[in-house]
Structure 1
Amino acid sequence: MFRQQFVRQARLFSTTPVARKSPVETIKDAAKAVDRTISGAAVKGIEKGEEVAGAVKEAVPETKGEAKGQASEMAGKAKGTANEVAGEAKGKAQELKGEAKSKM
């Protein structure tokens, strides 16, 4: 009888590893998660910076001649728009003048 109880107790003994993590392992896992989050945000920031730098490089002329050409092009567009608006205003004025004469 004594022998049977000993065998039962021997069966309860287990050699499997503990399923719970130690406090040190838990802290290490948390630190890894924080590190991944921070590094992911840093990578996104670097990528955005590269995109902005590329856009600035495309927008800014590389030489003085190119800058002067872009400036004169923009000035020409502005003059063209101003002339167009002035022409429309003159046309409307002539129209109204003609209507006023016809009513008199």
Structure 2
Amino acid sequence: MSFLTETIARRVALTSRVASIQVPRQFSTSMATRKTIAEAAKDTIKSVDRKVSDKLVDGINIGAKAAETVTGKATEANYRAAGTAQEIRNKMHAESEELTGKAKGAAKEAEGSIKGAAKHAEGKAKSAL
């Protein structure tokens, strides 16, 4: 076979194959952009990561609010306890002052009784002489 006939035969053979496999094209002026499997997987992983991190941040915020509430209640209880301790201190001080006054009164009364008894005994001793 000559060079020309061989070349023509090859081109005809290729042309007929291309014509039988022709696929209708969509009407578009831009190239179709399709994501590869790796890019689709990356996008899915990014969206899942974002959702998980959002939930974690929500959990952290809830924990911070709970800690703040507990701290506030503990501080409030501390102030109440300090107030109650001060009230108890004041009551005890008042009671001790009252008991001190009673003790001083009883001591003066006892002193007066002793002096009275001593004078009475002195008077009896003088009259007996």
Superposition TM-score tier, normalisation by shorter sequence: 0.3 to 0.5
* TM-score (normalised: structure 2): 0.39
Q: Given the two structures, how large is their TM-score scaled by the length of structure 1?
A: 0.46
Higher RCO by CA contacts (8 Å cutoff, separation 6 or greater): 1
